[in-house]
Structures are given as structure tokens and as C-alpha cells.
Structure 1
Amino acid sequence: MERRYDIEGPEVVDKEVLEVIDFEYPGTYSTVEISTQEFTSVCPWSGLPDFGEIFIEYVPNIHLIELKSLKFYLLSFRNVGILQEHAANKILKDLVETCDPLEMKVTGYFSLRGGLKTKVTVKYNKEK
């Protein structure tokens, strides 16, 4: 018997919930690190859950990511069928578009599935 759980597509990820706040020290090289152990999405083929830790490290330009909005954004992946590699890239793309950092790195450590762990790291550097 083949079983599959319902999934949603990446288009339901709520990028619009992301908010920024002004960075009061532009021109300084400040590194901001944010992490969560509560990231979940689902396998795009089976609908089974994927669990991971997400680490976000960035150098702000003129905006900071508002943390409550980031939490809601990450929670919007909950029922999304997405490959782990694509999830990390989507998070990076959406955050860069939202806060325009000088640099950003997103790393996802995804839990064991089928005997394999996955680590995905994606980076952005603003062109000068």
C-alpha cells in the first residue's frame, strides 16, 4: 500500500510576514547570529516530516530582521513539501530580499532520514 500525506507547495511560505527594523549603526561591521531548533517542513514525495536546525548569520546594512516575524516566517514552512537544499536557498533568498544585508549565510542541519543527515550552507555577499 502506498501512503502519502497532503503537502503544500513552496508558494505558501509567508514571505510577507517578514518585517525589518532600522539598524542604528550602519557602517559598522556587526555580525548577527540567529538560530532555531524548531524548523520543520515535509518531504515533497511522501509528506513525511523533516526536522532541522536553522542557523542564520548576517552583517546588516541598514535593516535588522525583526525576530517575531522571522519565527512566523519559518513556521510557514511547516506543511510545505520542499527539498532540504531548496529550503535553505529559499530562506536565504527571502531574507536577502527583505533586509538587504551586506553578507548572509544560512545553514540547515537536517535530522537523520534513511540513515543520512544533511547539512546545507548557502551564502550571499552584496556586490560593492
Structure 2
Amino acid sequence: MGKVNVDHSKYRDIRFDIQDESAIMTDILETIPYEYPGKDVEVEIPTSEFTSVCPWSGLPDFAEITITFVPDRYLIEMKSLKYYLTSYRNVGIYQEHATRRILEEVVAVIQPKWMKVEALWNPRGGLGTRVTAEYNDQD
């Protein structure tokens, strides 16, 4: 069986339109008061619907994201979080940077005692990625 030569040059200039990070709607994040200050609870918010795009190719990246935190005075308002996460949909951003950015922006809004954002990115080309970013107000 001989080697087959395939001309892949037709793919060279293909790029899908992507948005830059200014499309991320950080200002939409809202809080609600945590009514039990001093009484710790752990809140876990999972979603399997997160998507952004590769900044190089514009191809979609899908992730299961879990945001876990111990509130101090505020909780995140869920509708605002949903809109915020959805605003990443067409943004070209590396997986590691998206995970870290989500942590930093949600921390800035709710000021928790502790937070972890874990993203399990779907495999592409046989390689998946798990990215974990963590914040502790004692650091």
C-alpha cells in the first residue's frame, strides 16, 4: 500500500471570526447578600455548558467548569453568572487563561473566604486538559 499525498493547503487560511476578551461581560456579575456571616458553607456551582474558542484557530473549546467557594458576605447571583460565562462563547482565549480569569473576576465581585475554579476541557486531538485555579483570602 503506497503513501497517499493529500493537499491540505486549502485549510491554511481558514479562520473563524473570534471576539477579543473585551467581549467578556464582567460588569454583568451581581451579588446577593449571604445572610449567615460567620457560619461557613461550601457552595459548588457546576456547569457543563462552557465554551470559548481557540485564539489561534477559532475552533470551539468546551469545558465542564465547577466553581466552589466559601462565602464571606456575598453570594454570586446565578443569572448574572450564567450571562457572564456565556459571554466567553466566541472569545479567543487559551484554556488556562480562561480558567484563571473566571477565578479572578468572580473573586473580585463576591470577595469569598476561599474559591476554586476547576475546568475540565474536552479532548482535542486526543489531549484533554484539567485546569485548577484557587484563591484563599489568607494568602
Separation in 1 of the partners of 2:132 and 2:116? 7
Query: Which residue of structure 1 aligns with residue 7 of structure 2?
Result: none
Residues 41-60 of structure 1 aligned to structure 2 (within 5 Å)? 41-60=52-71
**One-letter amino acid matched to 2:137:** K
CA deviation string 1:43-102 (max 9, x = no partner): 000000001100000000000000011000000000000000000000000000000000
Tell me which structure has the larger Cα radius of gyration. Answer: 2
> Where do 5+ consecutive residues of structure 2 fail to align?
1-9
Q: CA deviation at 1:125?
A: 0.2
Query: Which residue of structure 2 aligns with residue 95 of structure 1?
Result: 106
Separation in 2 of the partners of 1:127 and 1:9? 33
Query: Which residue of structure 2 aligns with residue 71 of structure 1?
Result: 82
CA deviation string 1:10-41 (max 9, x = no partner): 12100111000000001111100001000000
**One-letter amino acid matched to 1:67:** M
Separation in 2 of the partners of 1:23 and 1:73? 21
**Runs of 4+ with deviation above 6 angstroms:** none
Separation in 1 of the partners of 2:29 and 2:99? 16
Residues 1-128 of structure 1 aligned to structure 2 (within 5 Å)? 1=10, 2=12, 3-127=14-138
1:40 match: secondary structure: strand
Give the RMSD, CA atoms, in angstroms: 0.9
> Where do 5+ consecutive residues of structure 1 fail to align?
none
What TM-score results when the alignment is normalised by the length of structure 2? 0.90
> How many corresponding residue pairs?
128
